Structure 1
């Protein structure tokens, strides 16, 4: 089996860490995009010790900081990599109170969607060369999400952590389907994943209703290792390209919400995202109108 090159965001803990460990055992060459490079280096050593796989590389990337994302993409594009076979957009977060990123974006939106949009579209040539599988971590919370494109920054409404998170997870599904549509002829496939309700540090620091709902869910939570299984499955199972654009739960294709299939919303999100990251055109994008 040929060695695969895999890029994973948010790999220093929880699902991302277990995904990295599992793929290292399968001899994937790993590029781990992390906010904290000290933790990243510690994880690298842990992966090498546990798996014997020394092909682990740490790249600094804060998905809430678009300049950091651009620098990470530039490092991946610097010529050392010939191709990327798997991209796992794993990082995410829920923020109890409204926070703005360095660039002035609402944190839930930029961390869960916009940062990954910029990263993915910035490394498209490498993804095309690798006939890549792009795996976006969404959530069943997308079924609570609504696409309010007139108020992405929550300036006109009282901020709700749960609603902001649900919207971001809905956007993950829109992004998945648009990637599948635009780049199928380039050999790229994309998938959305609900990892389950996983026992991690996710949601730490939340309060009010968000904290209560997490507490209610505690008895039903699964381990990070269990939560990583669907991402690992989609990264490694042969023949999954035929199921590109689909939503997976427990390694099985599952129905998403009806709203997640809105072509108008998908197109609007893509166009808005391009404008927000300052890209007049996305590399390799097919702008031809479909008949």
Structure 2
């Protein structure tokens, strides 16, 4: 069956049985993460919900638990702050201590277009949260994926077009901070991380994809101001915004995670339930910039990320 822009999570997962699977979803307390968790639980998957705010997460977990109750699946809610390496280490230690395997990780959490800030460890907030946080979380949990075919889905964005990564200036110490350049760097990093992650895991059946969900009204925009919104609108001049519903936005995540052929999705940037083509047109409504898929840049980012989080991970 062919899926596309208008496909929803339920369309993509129609007829799919995930009974017995263990799926971990970060940023599950609202929007795309919540819908992704609900959709896989409705197909029988056991779900670990990683949330920053446990109280908010409890409320968001209600539809996920309702879906799981209908299929006999289980739902776990665990606290993790992607802007804190110590929180990530505590979270991954807890998950590893209570589980002997995972079948999929959906690295969905993130921040967008926020004022200049720092993580608990002193990293620029968007790069530190969106990339370094998930780099550490995913790599510390990768041993749980080693038992069989598994997938890791990293949420990226068309915002990767705002900037390539700049590995010698991740904290904007050499250039003036710009919220959209920062966001672009972090979203490009999500794709490059995917490229190298898939290369390292391919032979063991661990496949990875980066996903652009589309334009959706979610809590991700909570940090936006009138100034950052006007800047974004100016950057998008000539490129209309085609809005998606939350179930449509989460569809590509579950397509890449549970439906797509492994060799089709592996190491690629996906959108609208398919693999995106490479483009250099800033005004094109679809496509991925070539620098986000460069294997040498991906290897360099991996090495730099290991230095920054002070942990090394096997090839």
TM-score by length of 2: 0.84
- Residue 145 of structure 1 aligns with which residue? 163
**Among 251, 266, 271, which residue is 2:273 paired with?**
251
More deviation, 213-222/112-121: 213-222
Using the alignment, how far apart are the partners of 1:76 and 1:141 within structure 2? 31
Q: Is the 8 A contact 1:4 1:29 kept in 2?
A: yes
Using the alignment, how far apart are the partners of 2:241 and 2:298 within structure 1? 35
SS at match of 1:150: coil
**1:50 to partner: Cα distance:** 4.4
The number of aligned residues is 282
SS at match of 2:208: strand
Pick closer, same or farther for the CA change 1:60–1:187 going to 2, 3 Å: same
**1:247 to partner: Cα distance:** 1.2
- Residue 213 of structure 2 aligns with which residue? 195
- Residue 262 of structure 1 aligns with which residue? 294
SS at match of 1:6: strand
- Residue 41 of structure 2 aligns with which residue? 24
Gaps of 5+ in 1: 287-291
- Residue 25 of structure 2 aligns with which residue? 8
Q: Is the 8 A contact 1:83 1:130 kept in 2?
A: no
Q: Is the 8 A contact 2:156 2:187 kept in 1?
A: yes
Q: Is the 8 A contact 1:178 1:267 kept in 2?
A: yes
More deviation, 206-215/182-191: 206-215
**1:180 to partner: Cα distance:** 0.8
Using the alignment, how far apart are the partners of 2:153 and 2:111 within structure 1? 17
**Among 274, 277, 282, which residue is 2:309 paired with?**
277
**Among 240, 243, 255, which residue is 1:221 paired with?**
243
Pick closer, same or farther for the CA change 1:149–1:219 going to 2, 3 Å: closer
**Counterpart check, 1:65 vs 2:84:** yes
- Equivalences for 1:133-212 in 2 at 5 Å? 133-212=151-230
- Residue 289 of structure 1 aligns with which residue? none
Gaps of 5+ in 2: 1-16, 278-287
**1:264 to partner: Cα distance:** 2.4
SS at match of 1:70: helix
Using the alignment, how far apart are the partners of 2:123 and 2:167 within structure 1? 13
**1:16 to partner: Cα distance:** 0.7
**Counterpart check, 1:83 vs 2:101:** yes
**1:18 to partner: Cα distance:** 0.8
- Alpha carbon RMSD of aligned pairs, Å? 1.9
Q: Is the 8 A contact 1:203 1:211 kept in 2?
A: no
Q: Is the 8 A contact 2:51 2:80 kept in 1?
A: yes
Using the alignment, how far apart are the partners of 1:196 and 1:209 within structure 2? 22
**Counterpart check, 1:237 vs 2:259:** yes
The superposition leaves residues 77-102 of structure 1 with CA deviations (integer Å, 9 ceiling, x where unpaired) of 10x31211110000111243210111
**Among 9, 31, 42, which residue is 2:59 paired with?**
42
- Residue 33 of structure 1 aligns with which residue? 50
TM-score by length of 1: 0.91
Pick closer, same or farther for the CA change 1:258–1:239 going to 2, 3 Å: closer
Using the alignment, how far apart are the partners of 1:214 and 1:8 within structure 2? 28
SS at match of 1:125: helix
More deviation, 219-228/110-119: 219-228
Q: Is the 8 A contact 1:94 1:203 kept in 2?
A: yes
The superposition leaves residues 124-180 of structure 1 with CA deviations (integer Å, 9 ceiling, x where unpaired) of 110112431000011111122122111100111110010000111111110001011
